Chains A and B, each alone.
Chain A
Amino acid sequence: MSGRAPVVTGTGLICSVGNNSDAVWTALVQGTPGLGPLTLLRSPRHGSAPVGEIKDDVDRLAGHLRGSRTDKLAWFAARQALIEAGLEARIGNLGPRVGVVMASTVGGVLKTEQFLVKLLHHHRARYGLLRHHECASVTDLCAREFQCFGPTTSISTACSGGAMAIAMAARMIESGDADIMVAGGSDSLCKLTVNGFGSLMLLDPDGCRPFDANRAGISLGEGAGALIIESEASAAARGAPVQARLSGWGYSCDAFHATAPEPEGRGACQAMSGALHCAGLEPQAINHINAHGTGTPGNDLAEAKAIQSLFGDTVPPLLSTKGLIGHTLGASGAIDAVLAIKSLAHGGPPPSAGFTTPDPAIGLVPVQRAGTTPQNHVLSNAFGFGGNNVSLVFSRPSSGAPRDDAPVPSATSTARVLRVTGIGIVAALGHDLKTVFARCTPQGADSNLREITAPLPPARVRVYSCPEDFGAKAELKAGRRRRLERVQQMAVVAAKRSCPESALAKIADERICVAMGTGLGCTEATAKFVEPIIEDEAGVPSPQKFTNAVHNALASQVAIEVTARGLNSTATHRDISFESALWHAVQEIKTNRSDVAFVGGADEITPYLLSAGSRWGWWSEDSLLLKPLSNNLAAPQRAIPGEGAVVFCIDATGGDTAALAEICAVACGRFAMDAAGQIDSKNEATWIESRLAAHNIALSDIDMIISGANGEPVLDARYVAVVQALGRRSGAANIRHGTYKHLCGDYHSASAFGMAMAVGVVSGHVSPKALLATDGACRLVLLYTLSDDGTRAMTCVRHMEAHA
Chain B
Amino acid sequence: MNMSVDELIDDLKVKIIAALNLEDVAPGDIDADEPLFDDGLGLDSIDALELVVMLEKQYGIVVEDIEVTKKAFASVRALATFVAGNSDS
Interface residue ranges, A against B (CB under 8 Å):
199-201, 257-260, 478-479, 482-483, 540-544, 547
Looking at the assembled complex, report how far the CB atom of A666 sits from the nearest CB atom of chain B, in whole angstroms: 36
B23 on the A face (CB < 8 A): yes
Asked, given contacts A257-B44, A260-B45, A478-B23, whether A544 binds B56 with beta carbons under 8 Å apart, the answer is no
The CA-CA distance from A544 to B66 in the complex, in Å, is 16
- B21 nearest CB neighbor, chain A only: A482
- Residues in chain A near residue B22, CB distance under 8 A: 478, 482
Looking at the assembled complex, report how far the CB atom of B67 sits from the nearest CB atom of chain A, in whole angstroms: 10
The CA-CA distance from A544 to B51 in the complex, in Å, is 11
Q: What are 27 A-B pairs at a CB distance below 8 A?
A: A199-B49, A199-B53, A200-B49, A201-B49, A201-B52, A201-B66, A257-B44, A258-B46, A259-B45, A259-B46, A478-B22, A479-B24, A482-B20, A482-B21, A482-B22, A482-B23, A483-B46, A540-B53, A540-B56, A541-B53, A542-B50, A543-B46, A543-B50, A543-B53, A544-B46, A544-B47, A544-B50
- Residues in chain A near residue B42, CB distance under 8 A: 479
- Residues in chain B near residue A479, CB distance under 8 A: 24, 42
For the A-B complex with A482-B21, A482-B23 known, give 13 more contacts whose Cβ atoms are closer than 8 Å. Answer: A199-B49, A199-B53, A201-B66, A257-B44, A260-B45, A478-B23, A479-B42, A482-B20, A482-B22, A540-B56, A542-B50, A543-B49, A544-B50
A257, A478, A479, A483 — most chain B CB neighbours (10 Å):
A479
Looking at the assembled complex, report how far the CB atom of A68 sits from the nearest CB atom of chain B, in whole angstroms: 28
- A260 nearest CB neighbor, chain B only: B45
The CA-CA distance from A96 to B52 in the complex, in Å, is 53
Interface residue ranges, B against A (CB under 8 Å):
20-24, 42, 44-47, 49-50, 52-53, 56-57, 65-66
- Residues in chain B near residue A541, CB distance under 8 A: 53
A-B pairs, 9 with minimum CB distance: A543-B49, A478-B24, A482-B21, A201-B66, A540-B53, A479-B42, A544-B46, A540-B57, A544-B50
- B22 nearest CB neighbor, chain A only: A482
- B66 nearest CB neighbor, chain A only: A201
Looking at the assembled complex, report how far the CB atom of A545 sits from the nearest CB atom of chain B, in whole angstroms: 10
- B64 nearest CB neighbor, chain A only: A201
Looking at the assembled complex, report how far the CB atom of A541 sits from the nearest CB atom of chain B, in whole angstroms: 8
Looking at the assembled complex, report how far the CB atom of A748 sits from the nearest CB atom of chain B, in whole angstroms: 27
Looking at the assembled complex, report how far the CB atom of B45 sits from the nearest CB atom of chain A, in whole angstroms: 6
The CA-CA distance from A593 to B47 in the complex, in Å, is 36
Looking at the assembled complex, report how far the CB atom of B75 sits from the nearest CB atom of chain A, in whole angstroms: 19
- Residues in chain B near residue A200, CB distance under 8 A: 46, 49
Residue from B21, B46, B56 in contact with A547 in the complex, judged by beta carbons closer than 8 Å: B46
- Residues in chain B near residue A540, CB distance under 8 A: 53, 56-57
Looking at the assembled complex, report how far the CB atom of A515 sits from the nearest CB atom of chain B, in whole angstroms: 25
The CA-CA distance from A258 to B49 in the complex, in Å, is 14
Looking at the assembled complex, report how far the CB atom of B47 sits from the nearest CB atom of chain A, in whole angstroms: 8
Looking at the assembled complex, report how far the CB atom of A174 sits from the nearest CB atom of chain B, in whole angstroms: 39
The CA-CA distance from A258 to B44 in the complex, in Å, is 11
Looking at the assembled complex, report how far the CB atom of B76 sits from the nearest CB atom of chain A, in whole angstroms: 18
- Residues in chain B near residue A258, CB distance under 8 A: 46
Looking at the assembled complex, report how far the CB atom of A488 sits from the nearest CB atom of chain B, in whole angstroms: 13
The CA-CA distance from A478 to B42 in the complex, in Å, is 11
The CA-CA distance from A483 to B23 in the complex, in Å, is 11
- Residues in chain B near residue A483, CB distance under 8 A: 46
B23, B47, B49 — most chain A CB neighbours (10 Å):
B49
Q: Is the CB of A542 within 8 A of B20?
A: no
- B49 nearest CB neighbor, chain A only: A543
